[in-house]
Structures are given as structure tokens and as C-alpha cells.
Chain A
């Protein structure tokens, strides 16, 4: 088991910067998810931690010790690849046992541990199969087995669920979570799917274009995104962003022609972006003094909830309404932003303006 610390870690491929210098702390035994759109440098980051790529700058520290000079075999990490990377010419048994046979563990011991792992993952009946004779979900479990058997300090998982179909993905997600609780080893889990990250991780790091935008527990990221990118990326649907203006004292925000008082004054005046989650609106048919009169543009009844799309200050806004909310596209609606839940962002930089105390 190990805690990991990245200090000013960066990576360039020629002129192309894949990772800008970043600092990140991953606690021992925690489940860290690294999320970001495809191409943002997630795999590169994982490869750097594993020692499969050499950083262009910065340091990687396991339990207080720099591991920069250690090659992958010495770092004692296990890697689960998106493509599983099972050895096609080896049986399931040989695949799972490979890390141990390379480490010259005694044959009996290898046998024993393979059987333990196979039982844990329900692979007992597949041990003599070749990878090509397995389904996607089975291959995925073999890849996990090959990682677990080593009892490594750190598990690195690169989009391990993205090649599974939707149903299996949700099921395996739950199994992964159980596995982490059982092993209590540090997991670093890379995904482009924010739902996966939210449901699995203790802490989420959000990456875009090689830059770290925020690293915090899921709830904090959801409630207080560091910038508009994080707000929009996390949540499904993402946060709504509405252009607004703040008065000179920072005490009142104007959305369209309606004024909303703030409970605490803001450090900024003038143009601002108000960030509101879809559930941070109240919606109804009857007007009240804080409501904006709107028209439903799209209505999506999803069963457990109804999503209603409308438009506020020129921006598209999605509102979460109860499942039984009766409404059709074109119907008039009264929308009240629940401003006490809002985040405020700088109009140019998109950075969250912390509420003043």
C-alpha cells in the first residue's frame, strides 16, 4: 500500500504538451478517479505513475520516496488496460499467474494464489481457456485477476469498463467498489465517464488539455466546481450557465430583468456567470414575484424525473422537474432560479468566485 504524491509532474511528446506541471496527492488506500474528456492526458498520467513513460519534469513520490529512478517492475504497481492486454498466447491460468512466474514465486504458491483469485472473481471454470474464447466481461475479470494476484502497492486502471456494454458496466462498477473495500489498496482509476468517477471514487481529479482543474471529493466537486469546465463536465446533465450582472456592492444579482438578493455579498460587480444545477430551479405554472416567464422548448420524461429545456438570458438551460410534472413542448412555464444554491464564475476566465464571508 502506498500514498502517491505528484509534484510539478509534466510530460511533453516533442512539442506537444500532454501534461502541464501538476501537483496531486493520492492518499494511501483511497480510490482516486481521474476524469476528463478523451485526449486530455489521463493515460499519459497513469503511464507516468507506472513508470512506462519518463516524465519531462517533476517528481513522483510513493510513501515519501521518489520512484523516478525505479523501472516499472520495481514500482510494484498493477495496471489494468482499457484493451485488457491479455497475453493472447497464454491461457487464463497462465495470464493470471504470469506476474508471479516472472517473480519466480514457487509453483505451489502460484497455484494456490491463482485459485484464490479465480474464486474471488468467479473464473474457476475458465482457467484453461484462451483469451479469444472469453466474452468481454470475462476478459475484463482476467485482467483484474492478473492485477490482484501480485498484491501490489497501487492499482492503476485505465478505463477498465469502457469496452463493456452498459448493463455489465454498472454491475462491474459495483464489483470494483467492493473489491476496493476488500483490498484497501490505493486505486487510481482513469475514466472519461463522470458518472463512473462520481459513483466509485473518494476523490476526483479533473483533467482537461493536460491541466488539472480540480481535485476534491465527489460531493465537493459537484457542489462547488472550481470553474465552468468542471461544472459542465460533472453532473448529468451538467451545470447550467446563465449570464447575469451583479450590482456595485455585490449584494444583488440580475438575471434578465429580475433581481435576486444574495445572502452573502460577492467580491465582484458587473458581468458574471451564474452556475445552477438542473435541480436548482423551481418550476410551476403560476407566477410568483421571483419567477421568469418561459416556454418549455424540449420535454424529456425519463421515468424517474422529467428534464425540461428552456432558455434564460440567451443560454440553453435544462431544468430537473418531478417525474409527474405535466408539461409539453411549447407550454408556458414559470421558472425560479434558487439563487442560494448558485455558484458564480468569472465571465472571462470561468473561474469560481468564492462567496465572501
Chain B
């Protein structure tokens, strides 16, 4: 099982460290002489730094935007007695069930009409639209698990509803917020279809598209592609590990009810 999950990653790691000559030789074992040329050439021969920056900006903005709206909506849904709450949540979820491919052409027209093609906004808006429903679901399930008395206590202790959210509910929902942030970030970081359609230049091109466009007319630069993949996966892995600690510590703090 572990091998099944990790195997391709290791293969890729090995490929990225091989010199071109023996690139496709099987079995994929580490060569005697490890080379880092692919890692260097990704940055020197291609605008990869810019592309990483693009991806980072798009994914971060999407995440922040989704969390801000998501936390507020989830708060409203779980604290106030709103009629048709279940219907609303169902509707929200059904939006995220739309196959992205079905929405590409109308979105394309919309984006062209707004004149935001090949900008970050062209990606952030569609991403947020798809990630928001899931965020609202995850966040509202976390917030509604917090005992309602804590919100009431904060209110009698003098908080406005937003203060109660920020000072009491938000810290307690931190594990949910981190979980949600990671999910949204990974989604935006890896998304391919919209990124391919709505970007045209290195101005706003994101990593998955860039890597897919590596192959030239005559050759497929496997080594560079492998190196690029490793470079962009690393931050995700680090992100998850860093936040995992916070998630666990958050969980133990939140699990103690008054």
C-alpha cells in the first residue's frame, strides 16, 4: 500500500536526478552519478520561477477569499436559526457537483467579456466558485460542533456577533479552518482545465499547465518535467506536515468542552 502510493513519487525523484543519457533506462534505480542539471535548467532555460509565483498567488488568494466568505457563511448557518438551512446547504453542495468541463465555455465567454483573460482574477474567481461550497460544508460542520453556549456566553460577556466569531468560535474552529485551507490550496495549486483555458502566457500561467507545455516539437524533456514536479510537490507536502501539527494541537484544545 505504501509502495503503491509512494512508488511513482520515488520514480519521479530518481528520474529527475538522472543524466539525460540514461533517462529512460529500466529498472528505475538511482544512477552512480546523481546530477542536478534538470533542477537548474528548469529555472535557467524556462520562466519557471515566474510560474511558481503565479501559482502561489492564485492559490493563496483563492484560499484567503474562500476562507473569509466561507467562515462568515458557515457562522451564519450554524449560529442563527435560518429557515431552509438544510435546503441551502444542499443547494450549495450541488453547485460543486457540476462537472467543470461543462462550465468551461460559458465561463470563457464571461471572462473574455470582462476582459480579465490571462490575469490572476480569471483563475481566482472560478476556483473560488468551485471551492466555496466545499469550504462552507467543512467549516459549518466544524463550527456547529462548538457548543452553542460558548457563543451565548461570549454574547452576554459583551461581544458583538462578529467579536464572538473572531474571539471565541474562530480559534475553536481552527482545525476546520486549516483543513479547509489545505484542501482549497491544493485544489487551486493543481487545477488544470481552467488554467489551460483561461491563461495564454507566462503572465498568469500556472504550474500544471506549464509542465504540460514543456514537451517541445522533437523531444519530451522527461528529466526537467520530473524535476519541476518534485519542486512543486515539495511545498504541498511541507504545507501539510506543518499544518498537521497545528491541526492536531487544535483538535485537542477544541475537544474540551466547557
Contact = CB atoms under 8 A, between A and B. Distances in A.
Contacts of B253: 88-89
A85 B172 contact: no
A132 B257 CA distance: 8
A131 interface: yes
29 contacts: A47-B152, A50-B156, A72-B155, A73-B158, A79-B152, A79-B153, A79-B156, A81-B258, A82-B149, A83-B257, A83-B258, A85-B147, A85-B150, A85-B153, A86-B258, A87-B154, A88-B172, A88-B254, A88-B257, A88-B258, A99-B158, A103-B158, A131-B256, A131-B258, A132-B256, A143-B258, A146-B153, A146-B157, A150-B158
B221 interface: no
A98 B147 contact: no
Nearest to B150: A85
B156 A98 contact: no
B152 A99 contact: no
B163 interface: yes
Report which residue of A82, A131, A132 has the largest number of chain B beta carbons within 10 angstroms of its beta carbon.
Answer: A132
A102 interface: yes
Given A85-B258, A131-B258, A73 B152 contact: no
B160 interface: yes
A87 B168 contact: yes
Interface string A129-156: 0111000000100010010001000000
Interface string A86-125: 1111000000001100110000000000000000000000
Contacts of A72: 155-156
Nearest to B157: A99
A11 to B, nearest CB: 13
B9 interface: no
Interface string B233-258: 00000000000000000000110111
B76 to A, nearest CB: 16
A184 B129 CA distance: 56
A280 B147 CA distance: 47
A154 to B, nearest CB: 11
Contacts of B157: 73, 98-99, 102, 146, 150
Interface residues of A, number: 30
A52 interface: yes
A257 to B, nearest CB: 57
B100 interface: no
A73 B160 CA distance: 8
B159 interface: yes
A84 B159 CA distance: 17
A165 B147 CA distance: 22
A44 B155 CA distance: 16
A103 B156 CA distance: 11
A102 B158 contact: yes
Contacts of A1: none
Nearest to B83: A14
Chain A CB within 10 Å — which of B149, B153, B163, B168 has the most? B153
B153 A81 contact: yes
A85 B152 contact: yes
A292 B155 CA distance: 60
B159 A73 contact: yes
A73 B258 contact: no
A83 B149 CA distance: 8
Contacts of B163: 102
Contacts of A71: 155
B130 to A, nearest CB: 32
Interface in B156-175: 156-160, 163, 167-168, 171-172
Contacts of B160: 73
Nearest to A82: B149
Contacts of A206: none
A77 interface: yes
Nearest to A80: B153
Contacts of B168: 87
A86 B159 CA distance: 15
